[in-house]
Amino acid sequence: MDGAELAGQILYTWLTLVLGLILLPSAFGVSLGISEIYMKILVKTLEWATLRIETGVAKQSVLKNSASVGIIQRDESPMEKGLSGLRGRDFELSDVFYFSKKGLEAIVEDEVTQRFSSEELVSWNLLTRTNVNFQYVSPRLTMVWVLGVIVRYCVLLPLRLTLAVIGISLFVIGTTLVGQLPRNRLKNFLSEVVHLTCCRICVRALSGTIHYHNRQYRPQKGGICVANHTSPIDVLILTTDGCYTMVGQVHGGLMGIIQRSMVKACPHIWFERSEMKDRHLVIRRLKEHIALKEELPILIFPEGTCINNTSVMMFKKGSFEIGGTIHPVAIKYNPRFGDAFWNSSKYNIVSYLLRVMTSWAIVCDVWYMPPMTREEGEDAVQFANRVKSAIAVQGGLTELPWDGGLKRAKVKDTFKEEQQKNYSKMIVGNGSLKSELD
């Protein structure tokens, strides 16, 4: 047997194992228990590694204090309270130092910018050491880490790349073929089959383990599903349990190819964020879509950008102005097994997917929540904030009022002026400080 025949035999055996043990079971939503065994071994390994680190640190007595979740220690009390504790009613020149201190704290570590970087871990997961309390490394830990690198890059990565290539190829081919059919029930059925099957394969390519909660509240046809946004794989996570009509920004590259094939089989809505005419067109398309109760639920991420799995930022009001029933969904990833956050300003989609595929696994919880409708006298902003609060509470996420657009754009002048007015009121004693002192 020459080299070509041996390579062909190896490739044939590899594809047969992938097809029989992973691809077909995942396509039909069946598990053979391999993922469960892998996750049990992984959990035991990470628990052992954490225990070894903690034991080693205790013996060496290197660290005396618990870790701080931030770079600096700061006073989280409101500025009005801080000023009232420093002086009386009249302005004093020393107040400048207090405002300077608060400004420097915001520059060093503000609560917006840190939401656009990877989430800090409380222990080392043998991928990245992100906490100063876990810098102890023993020979055994080093050996386990090296073994982990070999497993992740030499076993898991080729397997995951094989599944991803098969899943994406089938998806593009399947949606393109279905897109040639006239719009009828058969086309809708085949489109749902292609979406569900291929998304399940792609999730298996990430070693995805998803825990769905409250399935009785799954989004219904004719409704709008809104969820917090951490990564493009949010779409895969949700589509493995049901099909949606997507609404999102136009992308280039690999994402663009997938988007163009998707829209042939299902009436997804893609738009250019910078084009105002596209925004009006999206609103009109959404209203037309929800008027047809037999259409798939619309999936929208109202934050408009990816946040790092710790928080929920401002929901754009456009999704809540068109009427209809809102089906909130909370998604929370377990950072212990891998970082699901996509920093689109730093990584393109291919680099991001390679980083995810070389992690241990993608583990997340999905909570379907009771449907919500706009109450009488409630405007779109209030409704959006109410839905956002419900998602934050359910997912154990921090609720922030800031616009996720700050990831790419500067703060608007009107917002700066509003803050300046509030600060001036504190100084002269005409704002909340005066009322508190009275």
Query: Which range, of 196-210, 211-225, 287-301, 324-338, averages the lowest pLDDT?
Result: 287-301
Question: No. of H helices and E strands in the chain?
Answer: 15, 9
Average pLDDT for 390-395: 94
**pLDDT tens readout for residues 406-422:** 777 777 777 777 777 87
Average pLDDT for 130-140: 60
Whether pLDDT at 378 is above 70: yes
Amino acid 66: pLDDT: 40
Burial classification of residue 137, based on how many CB atoms lie within 10 Å of its CB (0-12 exposed, 13-18 middle, 19 or more buried): middle
Looking at per-residue pLDDT, the higher value among 295 and 175 belongs to: 175
Query: Which range, of 86-95, 184-193, 282-291, 368-377, averages the lowest pLDDT?
Result: 86-95
Whether pLDDT at 65 is above 60: no
Looking at per-residue pLDDT, the higher value among 63 and 403 belongs to: 403
**pLDDT tens readout for residues 234-244:** 999 999 998 89
Amino acid 350: pLDDT: 85
pLDDT-derived band at 435, boundaries 50, 70, 90? very low
Average pLDDT for 283-310: 85
Amino acid 213: pLDDT: 95
Whether pLDDT at 226 is above 80: yes
Dump the DSSP string for 86-148.
H--SS--TTHHHHHHHHHHHHHHS-TTGGGGSPPPPSS--SS----TT-----HHHHHHHHHH
Whether pLDDT at 61 is above 50: no
Whether pLDDT at 276 is above 50: yes
pLDDT-derived band at 62, boundaries 50, 70, 90? very low
Between CA 187 and CA 189 the distance in angstroms is: 5
Reported pTM = 0.80
Amino acid 82: pLDDT: 56
pLDDT-derived band at 274, boundaries 50, 70, 90? low
Average pLDDT for 59-76: 49
For residue 154, the 8-state DSSP code is I
Q: Among residues 418, 416, 407, 436, which one has the least CA distance to residue 112?
A: 407
- With the C-alpha atoms ordered 416, 418, 423, 424, is the resulting torsion angle positive or negative? positive
Whether pLDDT at 183 is above 90: no
**pLDDT tens readout for residues 303-324:** 888 898 999 999 988 888 887 7
Between CA 253 and CA 256 the distance in angstroms is: 5
Question: What percent of the chain has a predicted confidence (pLDDT) above 90?
Answer: 21
